[in-house]
Chain A
Amino acid sequence: MSFQINKLYYGDYGESKNGAADISTNQTNAAEWPLWEVFIRSKQGLDHKHAGSLHAADAAMAIENARDVYTRRMEGVSIWVVESKYIHASNPDEAGSLYDPANDKAYRHPTFYDLPEEVKYM
């Protein structure tokens, strides 16, 4: 038994409707620099958060560009970059089967417990 695996890259979805650039198979313009996703950690934050994307020729340039594009207003103290093609995304067409089943399972939220007075910051 064999499965056909459709590998979707970031930016791929909507392709059939011309909704996004075809990153994974784009050979038409070799001069175009690859797309990178940028994650910034703010001074107060512990986690790197997605800030946006940009074009750069390589990782070193991507970090410099990220510094120039996304940290101009003191947004961050640390930068991660990853080439967009390495990010795999869930398929929006499957949103129904992926996420809807959680709709009627409100009991999964921890709101049905009575917390003792002594427990703070919950």
Chain B
Amino acid sequence: MATMKNEIDFLLHLADNALIIGHRNSEWCGHGPILEQDIAITNIALDYIGQARNFYQHAAKLINQQPTNIGVTLTGNDIELPATEDSLAYLRDVREFKNLLITEIPNGDWAHTTLRLFLLSEFELQLFTQLLKHTDAQVAAIAEKSIKEISYHVKWSQDWVLRLGDGTEESKQKIQAAIEAIWAYTGELFIQPEYATAACLNYAAIQTAWNKKISAVFDEAGLSIPTKTFVQKGGPDGMHTEHLGYILAEMQYLQRAYPNSQW
């Protein structure tokens, strides 16, 4: 049963990552620097919400398949069964969310936003490629569908890192400032959560591939990797920054104030 609980927790981890970064990117809707880029980042936000739905739906299905007496409850607060994608997204509290901290930190400026997406999506590309070999065929299928979207996110955000790094004095200074600000949240990407027990996972390999890619792009853009190595961590275990609570307050308000309300 521990295995099933691990798989459910891992699915929630993936779903929460997608939901929170999707929410952050969606905050740009109507505020992008130019119409075309506003649409681009909103498309990306929608890709992420789609991924979140896939993972939540699958997690809900697995939760509902378990006999009620085995204790596969959502950590902490119980959610009424049957679980749904909506109850998993809207009715869990901050401490139950398992997303990486890098997904929840505020958008900052355009340089911060595109850099964060680049660092995160390259990690996801490596992770999801491993998930193609997951023993649960549904997880593998979601990974396969997501990789097509993530590959574009990598390309798009990488173009911006290159453009800003290799652009003007000001743009370079802004993207380098973003690197200094966000770098402390990248170490957490490679700390394997204790529930990430699937045999196909190899976080050390992800880190090697990620380092190689990031260094190559930073070299080309004339950017430098910070020497500070302090790592912010705890997201996948429910220890979050103060920012996540604000996101959830906004996101969950309607469902909590008016339970079961429909569009």
Contacts and interface: CB of A to CB of B under 8 A. Distances in A.
A65 B40 contact: yes
Interface in A53-110: 54-57, 60-61, 64-65, 68-69, 72
Contacts of A61: 159
Contacts of B257: none
- Is chain B's interface secondary structure helix, strand, loop, or mixed overall? helix
Contact of A56 (B36, B39, B43, B156): B36
Interface in A107-121: none
Interface string B78-114: 0000000000000000000000000000000000000
Interface residues of A, number: 12
B34 A64 contact: no
Interface in B34-61: 34-37, 39-40, 43
B40 A64 contact: yes
Contacts of A57: 163
B159 A64 contact: yes
B35 A68 contact: no
Nearest to B167: A57
A7 B4 CA distance: 71
Nearest to B44: A68
A87 to B, nearest CB: 19
A59 to B, nearest CB: 12
B37 A65 contact: yes
A73 B155 CA distance: 21
B107 to A, nearest CB: 18
Contacts of A64: 40, 155-156, 159
Interface string B153-183: 0011001000100000000000000000000
Contacts of B43: 68, 72
B159 A55 contact: no
B163 A68 contact: no
Given A55-B36, A61-B159, 8 more contacts: A33-B34, A54-B36, A55-B34, A55-B35, A64-B40, A65-B39, A65-B40, A68-B39
Interface of B: 34-37, 39-40, 43, 155-156, 159, 163
Interface of A: 33, 54-57, 60-61, 64-65, 68-69, 72
